[in-house]
Amino acid sequence: MAVTARLGAVVACVVLAAVAVAPRPAAGILDPVDFLALQAVRRSLDDMPGSEFFDGWDFTADPCGFPGVFCDGDRVAALALGDPRAGSPGLTGRLDPALGRLSALTELSLVPGRVEGELPASLASCSNLRFLAVSKNLLSGPIPDGFSALSNLRTLDVSFNQISGTIPPSIAALPSITNLILCHNQLTGGVPSFPDSSPLLRLDLKHNALSGGVPTLPAGLQYLSLSANKLTGTVDQVLPRLTRLNFLDLSMNQLEGPIPASVFSLPLSMLQLQRNFFAGPVQPSNDVTIPMVDLSYNRFWGQLSPLLAGVGQLYLNNNRFTGEVPARLVQELVGSGGLQVLYLQHNFLTGIEISPSSSLPSTVSLCLMYNCMVPPVYAPCPIKAGSQNTRPADQCPEWRG
């Protein structure tokens, strides 16, 4: 009986402490620890001008009825901070470490705004957390190592912030992670290695300062974006096992070597490999039906493949392709087929079978400038293609004018 009385006294003290900071007792039955945590969150954040999100946070009422607060029984299960409507102003302030005391939390999101400071390391205590998305704010500092304890975490999105440091290897080892979105930050170091058993579907690390090579990635990956980093090395051993990719962007790195033919058979919506040091011939084994393929600003060489005629937008400019443009590419372009954009400028191509009197459909774009031929038809090119129609003859030993 004495033990029961002491426990009752402790609970009573916690409840009294919770209501002491509010003008009147809360009407709901929210767990006292969660009640105090929400009050700390409120003190650390404010509405930006034009936002009225916190107008509905009146602690004399049941917090489970607050905007963005979702409860399961007497515990906070999800917290969506800020007005989610498109164009609404976000919040300012910092994320309070008290968030880690919401031990039943499964989802935490923050609308775009001007919230700064570091990601609270205390969130590692939210062992049930499945979804953490705080993109497009001013958050800085590292990704806490303690996040390795979040064994149920499926989505981590801290994109468009100022997060720095390296990506903790323990993040890649999370057993439930399916979406890892860390793009547009200031991350350094290498791309972490993922175990073969990883359920990862989306990996977006673009626009950071990552270096080193591209490691072996989970075979079930569907979305891969590593563009605008400082990655080096080859990918011909990495890409063939990623047979489920529907989006691939490795552009604006320092990657080199060949591109395996199997890449062109993937069910991709977009293939972006531009502005690297990739080299070798481009030889798909089947008709390519990817809507957009950008291989520009590399060191690809050899003849153009007619199997690329099924692409919608094809950017092959600023490479070292030679020979004549395949007739099938011309037919798809002039005949208003699926090919809408064909950029071939700044190569070493020697001819194209197209009548000078041909009139290109207004819906297509063709650029042939600065090759080893005189363009037989006029077609406006991008300004950055320059003003020279033809390469100097001494750069075209196989062309006699």
**Per-residue model confidence as pLDDT tens digits over 26-59:** 445 899 999 999 999 999 999 999 999 999 999 9
Decide: 187 and 208 in contact? Cβ < 8 Å: yes
Using CA atoms, how far apart are residues 119 and 143, in angstroms rounded to an integer?
7
Mean pLDDT, range 372-388, rounded to an integer: 86
pLDDT bucket at 226, cuts 50 / 70 / 90: very high
pLDDT bucket at 277, cuts 50 / 70 / 90: very high
Mean pLDDT, range 251-268, rounded to an integer: 97
Residue 234 has pLDDT above 50, yes or no: yes
Decide: 226 and 210 in contact? Cβ < 8 Å: yes
pLDDT of 321 reads 97
Mean pLDDT, range 206-221, rounded to an integer: 97
pLDDT of 28 reads 55
Beta strands 75-81 and 69-72, pairing class: antiparallel
pLDDT of 357 reads 63
Residue in the block written with tokens 């033809």: 390
pLDDT of 397 reads 77
Mean pLDDT, range 199-213, rounded to an integer: 98
Using CA atoms, how far apart are residues 365 and 373, in angstroms rounded to an integer?
18
Residue 232 has pLDDT above 90, yes or no: yes
Using CA atoms, how far apart are residues 16 and 28, in angstroms rounded to an integer?
14
Lowest-pLDDT range of 189-198, 231-240, 350-359: 350-359
pLDDT bucket at 385, cuts 50 / 70 / 90: confident
CA 250 to each of CA 60, 167, 238, 273: distance values in angstroms, whole numbers, following the listed order: 53, 18, 12, 5
Lowest-pLDDT range of 10-19, 113-122, 145-154, 287-296: 10-19
Mean pLDDT across the chain: 91
pLDDT of 376 reads 84
Residue 214 has pLDDT above 60, yes or no: yes
Residue 17 has pLDDT above 60, yes or no: no
Handedness of CA 334, 339, 343, 348 (dihedral sign): negative
Mean pLDDT, range 170-196, rounded to an integer: 97
Using CA atoms, how far apart are residues 95 and 79, in angstroms rounded to an integer?
12
Q: What is the pLDDT of residues 79-104, one digit of tens each?
A: 999 988 877 899 999 999 999 999 99
pLDDT of 353 reads 87
pLDDT of 91 reads 97
pLDDT bucket at 355, cuts 50 / 70 / 90: confident
Decide: 320 and 349 in contact? Cβ < 8 Å: no
pLDDT of 336 reads 66
Using CA atoms, how far apart are residues 326 and 303, in angstroms rounded to an integer?
9
Residue 218 has pLDDT above 60, yes or no: yes
Percent of the chain with pLDDT strictly greater than 70:
91
> What's the Rg (C-alpha) of the chain?
28
Residue 276 has pLDDT above 80, yes or no: yes
pLDDT of 19 reads 35
Structural domains present in the chain: 256-400 (3.80.10.10)
- The two three-digit tokens of residue 22, written as one number: 């509010």
Residue 112 has pLDDT above 50, yes or no: yes
pLDDT of 383 reads 86
pLDDT of 27 reads 43
Decide: 283 and 260 in contact? Cβ < 8 Å: no
Residue 20 has pLDDT above 50, yes or no: no
Decide: 159 and 182 in contact? Cβ < 8 Å: yes
In which element (H, E) is residue 155 found?
A: strand 155-157
Residue 22 has pLDDT above 90, yes or no: no
pLDDT of 212 reads 98
pLDDT bucket at 8, cuts 50 / 70 / 90: very low
